[in-house]
Amino acid sequence: MNILSIFKKECIHIIRDIKGNILMILFPIVLILILGTALSPLFDSGIDLGYIELVYTDEADPYLSSAYREFRQELSKEFGIEFIATDDAKEAISKIADGGQSSYIYLTDRQEIRLYKNERYAFEANLIEAMTRTFVEKYNLYKELATKVPDKLESAMAMEIPDLVAVKSLDGKRNIASMDYYAITMLTLILLYSASTSAHSVKREQLLKTGNRLLVSPVKKYEIFTGQVLGAISITVLQGLTVLAFSSFILNAYWGDKPHLVIMVIISEAVMAVSIGIGLSYVIKNVATLSGIINTIIPIMVLLGGGYVPFEVLGESIQKISVISPIRWTNQALFRLVYDQDTSYIFIAIAINLAIAAIFIIYASLAYRREDV
């Protein structure tokens, strides 16, 4: 019963702490929004081809000419390639030779498609060559069908034919948008800041001298300790779930299809962060020093865990060091779960979080038991 009283009181303190709630709820939401929007190019898997100009001459018969017109429209729409018609084939070819143009396509009146390209513009020229070859193969297929089995032409044209150039992720799995990325990393970041909240819960009792008042009442030290820890963990989990719900339903961040496992990881991280805060508050007596240390450790752990920029960007040496950050394991577990449906890392992350929590909680409880006024 005493544990429940202290638990309730602890919850009230944290809920009424406006600054703390801004930090734990509003701050991560704003960060997800800002980073998710500002750093979206970092996560964009599409290819920007830039401005490509293609000169052509069309002297082909109406069938080929019509097919080529459709092809041009498709490329303009899809890749923004600008097609410029010319009647002067000689001048166009000499421009290619001079390097003034990357490619020139000449559809002759003998139904030939000639491609002239300048290797100085290798990427552009090869891309246009690849697209043109695809067009030629497709046109020849339809032409053959029209000649030899005309009754099959219509059904063949109705078949879904793959895009000319398909951009696909090599792993074939869902791509991570910046909003998705920062929804996970900012949530795991902010959960760590509950270390600060819980450390200050302990210090509050010391500063307000209410700690002594608790100790003179017929309450056991373990009851005070348990009530405080459970209160801090519960509200931290609640704050984390609020951020998770907001990012999911309002910001449309992707959290995968196993929410119960995501929540388990969140709870384990909250337990770890609260325990670190409480543990440190018994190691470091000075409040300013305590705040300083917590506010230094958290960004380092988050940076090593890939919280600010994707883990892969950090470089090999930092990636090696990052194993010391529990956030690295937590983030990795969540990304694997959400995007690869891989649950194997979940239990590693939870085990690491709870092991760290156990160390700090055991230390804090022993220190509290020994503590004299």
The site for other proteins (CB under 8 A) is made up of 1-2, 5, 9, 12-13, 16-17, 208-210, 212-219, 372-373
C-beta of 219 vs 367, nearer to other proteins: 219
C-beta of 37 vs 212, nearer to other proteins: 212
Radius of gyration for the chain, computed over Cα atoms and rounded to the nearest angstrom: 32
C-beta of 12 vs 156, nearer to other proteins: 12
- CB of 13 vs other proteins, minimal distance in Å: 6
- CB of 212 vs other proteins, minimal distance in Å: 6
Q: Exposed, middle or buried, 87 (CB in 10 Å: 0-12/13-18/19+)? A: exposed
C-beta of 5 vs 289, nearer to other proteins: 5
Task: Give dist(CA 296, CA 194) in Å, integer.
Answer: 14
Query: Of 294, 284, 282, 290, which Cα lies nearest the Cα of 192?
Result: 294
Task: Give dist(CA 175, CA 192) in Å, integer.
Answer: 27
Query: Of 321, 314, 88, 291, which Cα lies nearest the Cα of 193?
Result: 291
- CB of 4 vs other proteins, minimal distance in Å: 9
C-beta of 219 vs 251, nearer to other proteins: 219
- Angle at the Cα of 11 from the Cα atoms of 189 and 232, rounded to 5 degrees: 40
- CB of 9 vs other proteins, minimal distance in Å: 5
C-beta of 204 vs 258, nearer to other proteins: 204
- CB of 19 vs other proteins, minimal distance in Å: 12
Give me the torsion for CA of 91, 92, 94, 95, rounded to 10°.
Answer: 120
C-beta of 147 vs 217, nearer to other proteins: 217
For 202-260, what is the HEC assignment?
HHHHHHCCHHHHHHHCCCCHHHHHHHHHHHHHHHHHHHHHHHHHHHHHCCCCCCCCCHH
**Alpha carbon distance, N-terminus to C-terminus of the chain:** 25
Dihedral pair phi/psi, residue 47, rounded to 5°: -110, 125
- CB of 294 vs other proteins, minimal distance in Å: 21
C-beta of 2 vs 86, nearer to other proteins: 2
- CB of 232 vs other proteins, minimal distance in Å: 15
Task: Give dist(CA 55, CA 70) in Å, integer.
Answer: 16
- CB of 371 vs other proteins, minimal distance in Å: 10
Task: Give dist(CA 303, CA 225) in Å, integer.
Answer: 31
> Residues 26, 330, 308, 287: is their CA dihedral positive or negative?
positive
C-beta of 15 vs 297, nearer to other proteins: 15
Q: Which two tokens stand for residue 233?
A: 């963990």
The DSSP line for 82-142 is: EEEE-S-HHHHHHHHHHTS-SEEEEE-TTS-EEEEE-GGGHHHHHHHHHHHHHHHHHHHHH
- CB of 210 vs other proteins, minimal distance in Å: 5
